[in-house]
């Protein structure tokens, strides 16, 4: 808890922004007077008393789409982030702790996955799927985003397992599972938390990129889908700023706040950066 108090103010501000946006995504859809697909007014009505953020090319309310979009994007991000982190930690731990042939095979596979750009694999997966539900999209993104975490976890586990307390546990007859959960993983918690934030950030971006290309989730608005329609209907060149600026600002706010939180966590957890701060 003490260490959390050492967080710089801009980190707390960033966390607050992220939580506020997440709350809008949770509460907004319940409070909204209409569904995201309902045609309420004329196309491209500017923001005003009637429509808080105006309407899009079909006359749907941008504000209602926004709160639904935030919910979809965050849901996909969370699902993909959890999947990616869990798979990455499991693969990295297995490879680092077992070593030998299993390590070679797993890391070879990981390196190949890192070299092949994830967005291309996602694109190929998405064009192959006829209907893309939000859950399927989240799982797909998680299934391609784990290699970075796996590689980093592996190198940490490989050095951790040489420590004396691990030897003692092994000599006193603890099983592999117990050694991993009790002796190794607690030392990695701060790292895993940071890896999760990065995974969440990457997944939200991946969803937005896929949706922008027209491969978004079917039937629900997401921040990327909103951007896709804004671009497809030329709202930038038409000067309908409320249509394209809304998803742009919110995607940027979400990703920027996540990255700020991550970098501040890094400076708190990373002793080298901490020492430098104290010396200044």
Residues at the site binding another protein, with contacts judged by CB under 8 A: 10, 108, 111-112, 114-121, 123-125, 127-130, 205, 208-209, 212-215, 227, 231, 236-237, 239, 241, 244-245, 248, 251-252, 255-256, 258-260, 263, 272-273, 276, 280
Task: Reduce the DSSP state of residue 148 to 3 states and report it.
Answer: helix
Nearer to another protein, 180 or 262 (CB): 262
What gap in Å lies between CA 237 and CA 195, rounded to an integer? 39
Measure the CA–CA gap between 265 and 197, rounded to whole angstroms.
Answer: 10
Cβ of residue 241: shortest distance to another protein, in angstroms?
A: 7
C-alpha separations of 72 from 88, 127, 226 in Å: 24, 20, 11
- Taking the complex as a whole, the smallest distance from the CB of residue 185 to another protein amounts, in Å, to 26
Please give the angle made by the CA atoms of 187, 193 and 198, to the nearest 5 degrees: 135
User: CB of residue 6 vs another protein: minimum separation in angstroms?
Assistant: 17
- Residues 265 and 88: their CA atoms lie apart, in Å, by 20
Distance CA 68, CA 246 (A): 13
- Closest to another protein by CB, 30 or 272: 272
64 token code pair? 């209602």
Contacts made by residues 27-30, CB under 8 angstroms, sequence distance 24+? 27/67, 28/64, 28/66, 28/67, 28/68, 28/70, 28/71, 29/64, 29/67, 29/68, 29/71
- Give the Cα separation of 61 and 40 in Å (integer): 7
Place of tokens 């980190």: 11
Instruction: Tell me whether residue 85 or residue 145 sits nearer to another protein (CB atom).
Output: 145
- Minimum Å gap between C-beta 66 and another protein is 15
Smallest distance, Å, CB 124 to another protein?
5
Residue with Cβ nearer another protein (46 or 175): 46
Between residues 183 and 240, which has the closer beta carbon with respect to another protein?
A: 240
With respect to another protein, which residue has the nearer C-beta, 61 or 257? 257
Q: Which is nearer to another protein, 47 or 214 (CB)?
A: 214
- Nearer to another protein by Cβ, of 66 and 227: the residue is 227
Closest distance of CB 228 from another protein, Å: 9
Tokens of 75: 């849901």
User: Minimum distance between the CB of residue 77 and another protein, rounded to whole angstroms?
Assistant: 13
Q: At what angle do helices 271-279 and 241-269 cross, to 10 degrees?
A: 80
Cα–Cα distances (Å) from 79 to 84, 142, 170, 202, 204, in that order, read 8, 7, 35, 12, 10
Q: How far is CA 42 from CA 58, 239, 257, in A?
A: 7, 16, 35
């Amino acid at each position: 808890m003490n260490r959390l108090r050492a967080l710089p103010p801009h980190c707390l501000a960033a966390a607050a922004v992220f939580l506020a946006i997440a709350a809008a995504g949770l509460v907004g859809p319940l409070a909204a007077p209409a569904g995201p697909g309902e045609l309420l007014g004329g196309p491209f009505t500017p923001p005003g008393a009637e429509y808080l953020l105006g309407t899009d090319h079909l006359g749907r309310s941008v504000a209602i789409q926004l709160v639904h979009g935030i919910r979809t994007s965050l849901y996909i991000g969370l699902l993909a982030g959890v999947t990616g982190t869990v798979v990455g930690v499991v693969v990295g731990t297995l490879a680092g702790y077992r070593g030998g042939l299993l390590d070679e095979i797993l890391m070879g596979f990981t390196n190949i996955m890192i070299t092949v750009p994830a967005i291309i694999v996602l694109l190929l997966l998405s064009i192959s799927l006829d209907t893309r539900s939000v859950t399927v999209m989240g799982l797909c993104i998680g299934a391609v985003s784990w290699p970075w975490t796996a590689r980093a976890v592996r190198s940490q586990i490989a050095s951790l397992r040489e420590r004396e307390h691990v030897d003692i546990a092994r000599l006193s007859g603890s099983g592999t599972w117990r050694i991993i959960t009790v002796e190794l993983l607690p030392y990695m918690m701060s790292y895993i938390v940071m890896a999760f934030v990065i995974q969440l950030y990457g997944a939200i971006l991946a969803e937005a990129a896929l949706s922008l290309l027209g491969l978004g989730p079917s039937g629900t608005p997401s921040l990327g889908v909103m951007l896709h329609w804004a671009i497809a209907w030329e709202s930038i060149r038409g000067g309908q700023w409320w249509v394209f600026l809304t998803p742009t600002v919110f995607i940027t706010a979400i990703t920027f706040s996540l990255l700020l939180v991550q970098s501040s966590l890094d400076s708190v957890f990373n002793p080298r950066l901490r020492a430098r701060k104290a010396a200044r």
